[in-house]
Structure 1
Amino acid sequence: MLYQENRLYTNFRERNTLTGKTLWPGHPDCALSALRGVPLDLWSDGDVLMVVCLTILMRSAGYARIEEANSTQLTLDHVAELLERTRQRYQSVPGGTPVAPAASTGVTDLLALADALKQRRAEVGASAQLYREIHGPLMHKIEQVAVGWPAAADTPERELCAWLRERLPVTGDSLAALGRSVTEDPAWLAAPHGDFATGLESLVYESVRAAVHTFDVDFAMSRGLRSLPDLVTAMRSADWDRITEWELPEFFCCVVPAPEARRHFGGSVSRLADAAWAMSARMQYNSWHFIAGNLPRVPAVLDRDHFVPPAIPDIAHFSDQHHHGHVAARIRFSIRSPQGVTVLDRRFNGFVDVRLLRCDGRPFTELDLQVTHRLSGFVATATGAAAQLVAGGADVTVTAFDTPWHAQTITAAVTQ
């Protein structure tokens, strides 16, 4: 939701003026589409500023940078201030090429700063953890930089590792070491394990349960694609159309609530299970939305509604103030940690994730996010190892985490 004087540019809830879920690309009501073919001399000053400011923002980091300007006036001064704050954050990371402040708030100088920040961002991301801090009521998504691994993060990581070692055939004193043990001996991911048809399902479930236990959250979850064999088959034949045709049931999300979370639902176990399944269904939709964004830009992909796949984690505060799904489920604080997975020779950004949710209590911290991101990295490593098994002829298909599974598992956990 962006402003230029009294005009609102948005693809969110209000009367839409930008292409999004309501306006298709090229729609005459879209402010951008309406400018096509119009001589520049006939553009309003507001439209000129809007296009120039969005161009500068995107040059610095892609589409996501635009959301850092949410609920603000699009002016060169405001864009200059946003980029300068970003420059200062990047400068907190040692090494790399220093970026000088913009010489002025003129367009040429701001474009030069944006280009320099894009290059510096790649350096920063290689040595520090980039993430976004989302402020629900304002819908600001501010890029932050986590420099270093805090010593206090060792405690929750050790707790996660202890939980996983006790329940899975993995070894190591860190989540990275556990991931290496999976890749060194991955065959169990394709075999039955515990109550699951595959070890991958068991690993996803235990990772989510470990998160609930370690972080004291109301819900934790992890999502992915059900049939890695179908994906490998489609990729080998370059059948991108087939992948775009998959519907929500082709994806899964394992949601595990804390038994105590039923207090947010009138003490009802069935309402808790219903809320968990609603979350799972929504995450299936997210996986569906993201996967096409990783495919070649063939006509079927361009015609398919999709989002740019997420590449960095985020923390959200007070999302129960605006996000419809979070309002319904009473989710106030959350962490989302997306991870990319390589299947054959293609990188799928946002292919899996781990999410933590709290309905009340304390907000999540940067430390929580850093540990969660290592946990989601463990899940991604295992998923990549499973994909390699499938490339070699194994069958790793996720059949758990449907509606009956959530109802039965949650009821058993809460009533035991």
Structure 2
Amino acid sequence: MTTDTTGSGMADLLADLHTRISFDQPAYVELTRLLTLDGRVQFRHAVAALTEFERAVLHRTLGDETLRLRRPDSSPSAPTDLLIGQSAQGRLTLRHPDTSGPAALAVLPLPDAVAEEITEEVLGWQLAECAEQARLDALLGRWQAAGVLPERVRQVADWVDRVETVLIYIGDQVFSRSDAKTNTLLRDGLLDRLANTPLDAWNSAERLFVAAAHLLFTAGRSIRFEEFNGRQLSATGLRDWLLDRWRRYAHATGTPLPDDLVARPAPTLAEEVAALAREVDRSDWIRFRRIRATAFSKHEALAELHRPDRTQQFLPEQVRRFAHRALGVALDAGLPGEKGVARTTEAILRQPGDAGAGLAHLLAVIVHSAVVELDADYAMSSAVRDPNRLAPAPQDPLREVLRLRKPDFFCCVLPHPRLAEHDLGRMLWLVAQRMQYNRWHFAPGNFDRTDVPRQRHYFFPPTLPDLAEFSDLWHGGHVAARVRYAIRAPGAPLWREPLSVGGNEFRGCFDIRAVRMHGRPFDRADLATAIRYSGLVDALWRTVVRCAADGVVAPVVTTFDRAWYERRGWAEVSGPRWT
């Protein structure tokens, strides 16, 4: 049975796991418990962090009722015995006593015959890996011969800096940029060293990482790195991943599989995967990500979701009542949701007075309706306060965007009505501040890298909806906000045109997010609901931008600041004026 760690992080979870190691149970029981973090990580995902050797050892122990772990203070009695450890990031290690690694938690005695079987099993993989690695080494060799290898490495360093977390294992070596107590790529200088070191001085893991990073970026920018977070990256695994993406995208788009698919070079596969992904975004399927925060894994999945199912077929009743009571606008109950929001937004812009406050009210009603329908503990939507600031200046598309600061963005965070009487102001304001920062951080990521000053840090904006679990194990803000399960639908979505403000095009500039602090995880039905509510927010902002282009003064949203949260403005949303 898992132990509830709500409000604690990974360090506390690991400490608890390690104090409860049993030396009386079969070894595979304890190894599985450590591997899966006591059931928090699915077995198949947890196994992906193991080396091929470690995986073979684990498979060989499964079901063996005779093998028992020994206490670490008992010296290994045979060269085949293995030390069991666990890194600060939660990766289980099974290593020989003469190798370095995390402190030993236990010893796994392996009979000689079992060790021989494992060696034989791993040999086939090693031979295939060497052959595939040679192809990637040849790619690096061509870059070195052309004199571009150092620049290729510097490109990888920049790409790594555009995503929140990279945590990739190649054998026992860690390639990371993360909040999980490890940053080997940038802070520890690994990529800087490689950029100034001849290729023949690199080890095999370093050669693989640089080549793989370029192929993954080709297949879909830096977010593809996150597909391998918490996992082993290998040359054969990279090829398998490219082929798997190719087949899945082909299935979604009705593209025939070519006879020579498996023989195609990896760079060709990466380019084709990127092209097919764009076709998926135009199909009746969506791409989304399943985020397993225990290891920062962000695995892309596909789901069939026809276009009509991505929009609200009817205007939510709460929005319709708000339009009538606050604006005097009567909207038909059968009006499609996005049309109803567009008409309500137009009415707000025509009303005398503070149109920014009216927009804030409308957005809050949408978020409130979403938190209730999703049965979340709280939900939110964030954006820029003044949409005019996203427009290009003469001769300089980025000038105003680069002048934006965190207070120039807002986040409307609302609890479920069942929590409205709780003292949540401080927590909601902390969440809102984090989302303000994220929105500021994403804005330049919509532009070409060469247009953004080197000193302006940014992440690529989110473009795929996602479902996340156990987000309260690492990020300090998520721990404080008790983000156990989360769901996000960013906008503008990939199946629509970007939000264009005066010619500047944006994705990831607004969203719908929701959080459950406990209970059941969000599922794909919830994801479809979040996507439909994000469509309502999309209708709001597109209407504001369209009206501004027609000469209507775009309003500035001043609500959702610290004072609003401190005076419990969020509690008013459940009042009669709103609902």
TM-score by length of 1: 0.85
Is residue 283 of structure 2 the alignment partner of residue 283 of structure 1? no
| Correspondence for 1:18 | 185
Letter in 1 for 2:291: I
How far apart in 2 are the matches of 1:150 and 1:180? Answer: 16
Is residue 309 of structure 2 the alignment partner of residue 143 of structure 1? no
Letter in 2 for 1:321: L
CA pair 356-160 structure 1, distance change in 2 beyond 3 A: farther
Q: Look up the SS of the partner of 1:319 in the other structure.
A: coil
How far apart in 1 are the matches of 2:344 and 2:368? Answer: 23
Q: Could you say which structure has the greater relative contact order, defined with CA pairs below 8 angstroms and 6 or more residues apart?
A: 1
Is residue 542 of structure 2 the alignment partner of residue 384 of structure 1? yes
Instruction: Please report how far the alpha carbon of residue 48 of structure 1 lies from its aligned counterpart in structure 2 after TM superposition.
Output: 0.5
| Correspondence for 1:2 | 168
CA pair 45-379 structure 1, distance change in 2 beyond 3 A: same
Say whether the 8 Å CA contact 2:383–2:411 is kept in structure 1.
Answer: yes
Say whether the 8 Å CA contact 2:287–2:301 is kept in structure 1.
Answer: yes
| Correspondence for 1:65 | 224
Letter in 2 for 1:44: N
Encode CA deviations 1:280-336: one digit per residue, 9 max, x unaligned: 000000110011112354565432010001111111011112232221111111111
Instruction: Please report how far the alpha carbon of residue 18 of structure 1 lies from its aligned counterpart in structure 2 after TM superposition.
Output: 2.0
Letter in 1 for 2:185: L
Encode CA deviations 1:33-66: one digit per residue, 9 max, x unaligned: 2222422222221210111122222222221111
How far apart in 1 are the matches of 2:385 and 2:229? Answer: 35
| Correspondence for 2:205 | 46
Say whether the 8 Å CA contact 1:222–1:254 is kept in structure 2.
Answer: yes
Say whether the 8 Å CA contact 1:130–1:146 is kept in structure 2.
Answer: yes
Letter in 2 for 1:137: T
Is residue 418 of structure 2 the alignment partner of residue 256 of structure 1? no
How far apart in 2 are the matches of 1:170 and 1:397? Answer: 25
How far apart in 1 are the matches of 2:260 and 2:517? Answer: 41
How far apart in 2 are the matches of 1:185 and 1:329? Answer: 33
Q: Look up the SS of the partner of 2:262 in the other structure.
A: coil
Instruction: Please report how far the alpha carbon of residue 181 of structure 1 lies from its aligned counterpart in structure 2 after TM superposition.
Output: 4.5
Instruction: Please report how far the alpha carbon of residue 186 of structure 1 lies from its aligned counterpart in structure 2 after TM superposition.
Output: 4.8
Is residue 390 of structure 2 the alignment partner of residue 231 of structure 1? yes
Say whether the 8 Å CA contact 1:160–1:214 is kept in structure 2.
Answer: no
Letter in 1 for 2:275: Q
CA pair 159-301 structure 1, distance change in 2 beyond 3 A: same
| Correspondence for 1:26 | none
Is residue 318 of structure 2 the alignment partner of residue 163 of structure 1? yes
| Correspondence for 1:200 | 359
Is residue 341 of structure 2 the alignment partner of residue 219 of structure 1? no
How far apart in 2 are the matches of 1:8 and 1:129? Answer: 32
Say whether the 8 Å CA contact 2:320–2:333 is kept in structure 1.
Answer: no
Q: Which consecutive unaligned segments of at least 5 residues does structure 2 have?
A: 1-166, 324-328, 493-498
CA pair 55-409 structure 1, distance change in 2 beyond 3 A: same
How far apart in 2 are the matches of 1:119 and 1:52? Answer: 20
Q: Look up the SS of the partner of 1:73 in the other structure.
A: coil
Q: Which of 358, 361, 366 pairs up with 2:524?
A: 366
Say whether the 8 Å CA contact 2:315–2:333 is kept in structure 1.
Answer: no
| Correspondence for 2:98 | none
Instruction: Please report how far the alpha carbon of residue 367 of structure 1 lies from its aligned counterpart in structure 2 after TM superposition.
Output: 1.6
Q: Which of 462, 466, 476 pairs up with 1:324?
A: 476
State the identity %.
Answer: 30
| Correspondence for 2:422 | 269
Q: Look up the SS of the partner of 1:54 in the other structure.
A: helix
How far apart in 2 are the matches of 1:52 and 1:124? Answer: 26
| Correspondence for 1:243 | 401
CA pair 77-199 structure 1, distance change in 2 beyond 3 A: same
Say whether the 8 Å CA contact 2:287–2:300 is kept in structure 1.
Answer: yes
Encode CA deviations 1:176-229: one digit per residue, 9 max, x unaligned: x33235546753242559997443222211110101121111001000001123
Q: Look up the SS of the partner of 1:93 in the other structure.
A: helix
Q: Which of 237, 240, 243 pairs up with 1:81?
A: 240
Letter in 2 for 1:166: R
CA pair 195-189 structure 1, distance change in 2 beyond 3 A: closer
Letter in 1 for 2:465: P
Q: Whose helix fraction is larger, Structure 1's or Structure 2's?
A: 1
Q: Which of 455, 461, 467 pairs up with 1:315?
A: 467
| Correspondence for 1:333 | 485
Say whether the 8 Å CA contact 2:212–2:238 is kept in structure 1.
Answer: yes
How many residues are paired up? 395
Structure of greater Rg: 2
Say whether the 8 Å CA contact 1:193–1:199 is kept in structure 2.
Answer: no
How far apart in 2 are the matches of 1:130 and 1:122? Answer: 10
Say whether the 8 Å CA contact 1:10–1:16 is kept in structure 2.
Answer: yes
Structure 1 segment 125-140 matched on structure 2, within 5 A: 125-127=281-283, 128-140=285-297
Is residue 278 of structure 2 the alignment partner of residue 112 of structure 1? no
Say whether the 8 Å CA contact 1:182–1:382 is kept in structure 2.
Answer: yes
Q: Look up the SS of the partner of 2:413 in the other structure.
A: strand
| Correspondence for 2:444 | 292
Q: Look up the SS of the partner of 2:383 in the other structure.
A: strand
CA pair 298-130 structure 1, distance change in 2 beyond 3 A: same
Q: Which consecutive unaligned segments of at least 5 residues does structure 1 have?
A: 24-28, 263-267
